[in-house]
């Protein structure tokens, strides 16, 4: 009898131990299942963030590399004279005498030297208006009529602005020089300009 009872007790103990282990494994399994999706989400979010940063950096580099900066090209010389035609100062000029060149103007240029300027020539005399869109440095704008007389001056214009700078009288030419040029060289209303250049349209 004792042997039978002992054997029966042993038979009952063995499956009980296995059952306890199985219960513990089942209790721990949901925890692992909960942790795994969390790690996956963190990993995916990290990868997405890295891809977004790389894409943004590439776009910034592409935008910078797409900007084309123009350089000054001498196409003539312009002389300022006072009302009785006494010479004041002479500068080099670049000519803008067609629609494309007039629209481009001095946009996308990093700077211009003191004794340089851009002369805009229009097909006919009328009220003109300029702005500073995509122009990186401040200018003096001089509006000039068909008698080569300065009729309007806008000094120290605002870079990268869409503010309008109109002429106060009809003009057929506009000259742009560095901001402060007129004050530094005593250029004023009523002064005149004369020029020579490589383009036939300005030899007049």
* Distances, alpha carbon 160 to alpha carbons 129, 134, 136, 187, 192, in Å: 16, 5, 6, 25, 29
Strand partners, 87: 81
* Per-residue tokens: 46: 């990290």
**pTM for the whole thing?**
0.66
User: How many Å apart are CA 130 and CA 45, to the nearest integer?
Assistant: 50
Angle in degrees, CA 6, 8, 11, rounded to 5: 110
- Give every CB contact of residue 197 below 8 A, 6+ residues apart in sequence: 75, 76, 77, 93, 95, 203
What pLDDT score does 1 carry?
40
Beta bridge partners of 177: 140
pLDDT tens digits for 123-182? 999 999 999 999 999 999 999 999 999 999 999 999 999 999 999 999 999 999 999 999
Helix (H, G, I), strand (E, B) or coil at 195: strand
pLDDT of 4-27, one tens digit each? Answer: 344 444 444 445 455 455 545 555
Nearest CA to 92 among 191, 198, 203? 198
40-66 pLDDT per residue, tens: 677 787 887 787 776 666 655 544 446
How many residues in total does the chain contain? 204
100 in Cβ contact with 120 (< 8 Å): no
Q: Which of 117, 180, 134 is nearest to 153 (CA)?
A: 180
Of 202, 204, 184, nearest to 94 by C-alpha is 202
């Amino acid at each position: 009898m004792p042997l039978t009872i002992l054997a029966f007790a042993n038979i009952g103990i063995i499956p009980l131990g296995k059952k306890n282990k199985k219960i513990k494994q089942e209790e721990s399994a949901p925890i692992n299942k909960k942790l795994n999706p969390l790690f996956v989400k963190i990993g995916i979010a990290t990868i997405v963030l890295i891809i977004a940063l790389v894409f943004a950096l590439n776009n910034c580099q592409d935008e910078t590399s797409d900007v084309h900066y123009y350089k000054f090209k001498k196409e003539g010389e312009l002389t300022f004279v006072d009302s009785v035609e006494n010479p004041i100062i002479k500068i080099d000029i670049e000519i803008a005498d067609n629609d494309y060149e007039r629209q481009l103007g001095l946009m996308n240029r990093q700077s211009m030297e003191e004794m340089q300027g851009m002369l805009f020539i229009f097909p006919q005399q009328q009220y003109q208006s300029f702005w500073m869109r995509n122009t990186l440095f401040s200018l003096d704008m001089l509006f000039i009529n068909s008698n080569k007389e300065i009729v309007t001056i806008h000094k120290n214009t605002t870079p990268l602005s869409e503010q309008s700078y109109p002429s106060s009288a009809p003009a057929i030419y506009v000259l742009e020089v560095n901001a402060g040029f007129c004050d530094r060289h005593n250029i004023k209303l009523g002064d005149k300009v004369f020029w020579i250049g490589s383009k036939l349209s300005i030899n007049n």
